[in-house]
Amino acid sequence: MDKFLIKGPCKVKGQVSISGSKNAALPILASTILFDKSVVIDNLPRVKDIDTMLKLLKSFGSKIEFFNNKKTVKIVKNKKRKIFASYSLVKTMRAGILVLGPMIAKHQKSITSLPGGCLIGARPVNYHLNALKKLGMKYKIKKGYIHAISKGKLRGTNFKFSNISVGATENSIIAACLAKGITVLKNCAIEPEIKDLTNFLNSAGAKIKWIGKRTVKIEGVTSLNSIKYSVMGDRIEAGTFCVAASLTAGNLLIKNFDSNLIQNELSLLKKIGSKIKCFNQEIYIKGPSKIKNINNITTKEYPNFPTDLQAQFMVLLCKANGRSSITESIFENRFMHVAELRRLGAKITIKDNKAIIEGNTEFFGAELMSSDLRASVALVLAALVAKGQSVINRIYHLDRGYEKIEDKLKKIGVNIKRLS
């Protein structure tokens, strides 16, 4: 099992290009099930979750062709279609559930494994099932699989999500594209990745319109057109590199990314003392010599502070000049990185869903264990400013969501090696 060896402390400087967004690419790839014609997707990140989704599409009968160093993929539908999404593929990622909506919409039946992914909370699939049921899907759960059918095409409906859910919003929008009539979904998630999905579908002939802040109207169509589309940049990767520059008093030019997507995060980094300039598809960031503390950062649904950057900011605040706090309101089990940060020397107290972080912490290298995708990258960040050598185990979590992260880090001055 691969691990990282990092020798600190390091100061990041230079430039880094941001990869395509995994969280935008996955629902877009799942939605290609709706198409009869070929689809070309560009700017794909080469990460494990994308590979898994493409294997899943291939298992359904899609023909997959790669171009441009596998960053571009052409998906052509085979006339012989399978409707079985196996546990062996879906177990490693939550996004496996996103094939359910398009399979029911297109083929009126599906057998889909309950999903896997990071162990960071319940992430119930009920939000998906309740919305799809309102569209006309019937289902039973047997031995870990969702056995779903619909009598004829799905039918347009009005539905309000009981909780804001990114995945359930995506699944429902995709399914409603081929439903008969008009669907109105309320209390939707509005992450940029969802807007990227709706831009993609509309470009192919779908009729999707946002009619309120969290309300979307979908008029069903009979088919979608062949299309070439480029996936948006990864805002969590961009945010992670911004934290790296701030944490190490570094100088970094972040390329191939729209800074408008992370304005809240950049505002927080300015508060802790970073100097930031934004240009067209570029961000220049200079980290401070002394990091200022921040009280009460709270993770919330977009456009607020994202849970996927919580662990990275916690590392940053360990080096601040006073006490800080972070409240996690999205997932109930997303402080698993705290125990590992304590091994480096962090002084963090957990009270319910709130972390109180003592500043002015000196980190010392240690052997560490990754627990999920974002926790893994937080440990990498901490190792950058630790004195001595750190070993980070179970980095397969990182490979699920960050494209060639060690290569990018090496280019900006980090002493990092992958050990097999």
Based on the fold, state whether residues 221 and 97 are members of the same structural domain: yes
Q: Which of 9, 45, 11, 12 has its CA nearest to residue 28?
A: 45
- Average pLDDT across the chain, whole number: 94
Residue 122: what pLDDT?
53
Please tell me the distance from the alpha carbon of residue 204 to that of residue 376, in angstroms, as a whole number. Answer: 37
Q: How many domains does the chain have?
A: 2
Please tell me the distance from the alpha carbon of residue 100 to that of residue 265, in angstroms, as a whole number. Answer: 33
Chain centre to alpha carbon of residue 187:
20
Based on the fold, state whether residues 226 and 289 are members of the same structural domain: no
Tell me the DSSP string of 59-96. HHT-EEEEETTTTEEEEE--SS---EE-HHHHTT-GGG
pLDDT (average), residues 217-229: 98
Residue 121 has pLDDT above 70, yes or no: no
Give Dmax (Cα) for the chain: 64
Residue 401: what pLDDT?
86
Model confidence pLDDT, tens digit, residues 52-73 = 999 999 999 999 999 988 899 9
Measured CA angle at 242 (ends 238, 245), to 5 deg: 140
Residue 119 has pLDDT above 70, yes or no: no
Lowest mean pLDDT among 169-173, 333-337, 386-390: 333-337
Q: How confident is the model at residue 116 (pLDDT cuts 50, 70, 90)?
A: low
Based on the fold, state whether residues 361 and 406 are members of the same structural domain: yes
Of residues 164 and 115, more confidence is placed in 164
Based on the fold, state whether residues 128 and 207 are members of the same structural domain: yes
Query: Two tokens at 8?
Result: 């600190």
Q: Is 179 exposed, middle or buried (0-12, 13-18, 19+ CB in 10 A)?
A: buried
Residue 98: what pLDDT?
96
Residue 78: what pLDDT?
79
Q: What percent of the chain has pLDDT over 70?
A: 98
Residue 334: what pLDDT?
83
Query: Two tokens at 150?
Result: 């619909």
Q: Which of 50, 30, 52 has its CA nearest to residue 110?
A: 30
Based on the fold, state whether residues 14 and 119 are members of the same structural domain: no
CATH of the domain at 181: 3.65.10.10
Residue 170 has pLDDT above 50, yes or no: yes
Q: Is 176 helix (H, G, I), strand (E, B) or coil?
A: helix
pLDDT (average), residues 239-262: 98
Residue 120: what pLDDT?
41
For the question of residue 177 being annotated catalytic, the response is no
Residue 175: what pLDDT?
98
Based on the fold, state whether residues 15 and 113 are members of the same structural domain: no
* The domain boundary residue, chosen from 211, 230, 249: 230
The residue type of 284 is Y
Based on the fold, state whether residues 36 and 92 are members of the same structural domain: yes
Q: Beta strands 388-393 and 227-230: pairing type?
A: unpaired
Residue 312: what pLDDT?
97
Residue 123: what pLDDT?
56
CA torsion sign, 274 to 277 to 280 to 282? negative
Q: Is 281 helix (H, G, I), strand (E, B) or coil?
A: coil
* The domain boundary residue, chosen from 169, 200, 230: 230
Residue 206 has pLDDT above 80, yes or no: yes
Measured CA angle at 389 (ends 385, 395), to 5 deg: 85
Torsion from C-alpha of 342, 333, 169, 139, nearest 10 degrees: 140
Helix axes 373-384, 337-344, angle to 10 degrees: 10
Model confidence pLDDT, tens digit, residues 8-26 = 999 999 999 999 999 999 9
Domain enclosing residue 144, as ranges = 22-230
Based on the fold, state whether residues 304 and 203 are members of the same structural domain: no
* The domain boundary residue, chosen from 176, 204, 230: 230
pLDDT (average), residues 123-142: 93
Q: How confident is the model at residue 89 (pLDDT cuts 50, 70, 90)?
A: confident
Based on the fold, state whether residues 106 and 214 are members of the same structural domain: yes
Q: How confident is the model at residue 77 (pLDDT cuts 50, 70, 90)?
A: confident
Q: Is 385 helix (H, G, I), strand (E, B) or coil?
A: coil
Based on the fold, state whether residues 209 and 239 are members of the same structural domain: no
Based on the fold, state whether residues 385 and 249 are members of the same structural domain: yes
Residue 118: what pLDDT?
46
Residue 76 has pLDDT above 90, yes or no: yes
Based on the fold, state whether residues 331 and 414 are members of the same structural domain: yes
Query: Two tokens at 68?
Result: 């441009």
Query: Two tokens at 404?
Result: 């060639």
Of residues 82 and 299, more confidence is placed in 299
Q: Which of 10, 118, 177, 242 is catalytic?
A: 118
Please tell me the distance from the alpha carbon of residue 109 to that of residue 156, in angstroms, as a whole number. Answer: 17
Per-range mean pLDDT, top range of 38-42, 76-80, 372-376? 38-42
